[in-house]
Structure 1
Amino acid sequence: MNKYKITAIEHPQYPWLHRIQALIDVNEKVPKGTIGGFVDSITNLSQGGGCWIYDDAICCEGGLVREEAEIYDDSMVRGTAVVAGKARIYNHAVAKDSCYISSGEIKDDAVIAGKAIIGSLCLQKPLISGDSRVYGMVQGNVHVNGNIFSWEKIEANTQDTHIFEHGQWSISPAIEKLQPPLYYPRKKTKKKNPPER
């Protein structure tokens, strides 16, 4: 069963693009009947998973949004770009050419292009923001607000956030917390009796 249909509602600037409408409850934010963003064809948004195109976002040409990925606002996926996993693209960000985004957040006016790969390492997800232009690989706990060239490969599998901003690298250390070992006896808390009336 299809989860959405393409409506007759045309994009005001690109009339060959049309809005989508949910035919079923797609996810918690998209109940049946919800009007979504714009597509070129049925191949731009997977019929499986909870992926969705929100607001005035566009997925066109050979671009694809699949799995649990979401695009919002005026963001755009085009060329043969793939946005998958739990990736989120919003504001005016663009994914184009043959890039592959499998996790993290792309926002502001950032552009992911060429054969760029954006992904996670374990549970660590990247954030690409500002006027960034990313053509290389960015994976893990990395915040990029700058340019990453096609020959660059950035991987950060740590709790500390690696920050690339204005051509400079810095680290934002994670807050260190200790957890008691399994053998440590846990104190039982007494339940308070409700006050008598």
Structure 2
Amino acid sequence: MKKYEITDIAHPDNPKLHRIRALMDLTENIHAGDLGGFVETENNLDQEGFAWIGEDAIACENAVVCGDAVLTDHAIARGCAYVGKNATVMGDATVQDDAIVCGGLLMGKSCVCGYAVIQQDEQTLCAPIIDGSTRIYGEISGNVVCRGNAVVLPGTKLDNRTQDCFVLEDDRVSVQTASRTPPPKEPPTHDFER
């Protein structure tokens, strides 16, 4: 059974794009009959899983949104982009070219492009947050925040498997250390023989 259909409602600026409509309840917020964002073909949004394109978001060309991924607001996935697993792309964020987003949160006017890869670290379950006007061309996973006008160049791989957060902001890199509670001290024990 299909989870959505493509309606006759065309995008106001691009008649190749059409709104989707949910055919079943998908989540607490997405019910049968709800209108979603725009796709070019049924290949842009998987009919399985809970993935959704909402509001005025667009998935077009050979882009694929699947898994539990969400594309919302005015976000765009185009080219051969892949947005999957539990990724959220919102605001005016763009995933394009051959970029892969398999976790994390993209927002603002950020752009993940080229052969970029954004993913959740499978050990720590931390996922990157990309915000502002950042441009990501490299690979990022784990507890990383990119904001402002940060740029991650092609060939750069940033894999943070720690609880500390790596922050790339504009042309600065910093670390926000995780609060750590020291283990309780055990009272000294003495064995006294009598």
Q: Same fold (TM over 0.5)?
A: yes
Shift of 1:178: 6.0
Match of 1:170 in 2: 174
- TM-score, structure 2 normalization: 0.90
Which of 138, 147, 154 is residue 151 of structure 2 equivalent to?
A: 147
Matched, 1:134 2:133: no
Q: Following the alignment from structure 1 to structure 2, what is the Cα–Cα distance between the partners of residues 65 and 32?
A: 19
Query: What does residue range 1-197 of structure 1 map to in structure 2 within 5 Å?
Result: 1-121=1-121, 122=123, 123-145=125-147, 146-177=150-181
Match of 1:188 in 2: none
Q: Following the alignment from structure 1 to structure 2, what is the Cα–Cα distance between the partners of residues 56 and 175?
A: 39
Counterpart amino acid of 1:131? S
Going from structure 1 to structure 2, the CA distance change for 1:178 and 1:21 (only over 3 Å counts) comes to farther
Unaligned runs of 5+ in 2: 185-194
Counterpart amino acid of 2:134? S
* 1:43 match: secondary structure: helix
Shift of 1:15: 1.2
Going from structure 1 to structure 2, the CA distance change for 1:179 and 1:11 (only over 3 Å counts) comes to farther
Q: Following the alignment from structure 2 to structure 1, what is the Cα–Cα distance between the partners of residues 20 and 126?
A: 32
Q: Following the alignment from structure 2 to structure 1, what is the Cα–Cα distance between the partners of residues 36 and 180?
A: 42
1:19-45: CA deviations, max 9, x gaps?
Answer: 000001122221111100000000000
Shift of 1:177: 3.6
Unaligned runs of 5+ in 1: 181-197
Shift of 1:76: 0.1
Runs of 4+ displaced beyond 3 Å: 177-180
Counterpart amino acid of 1:135? Y
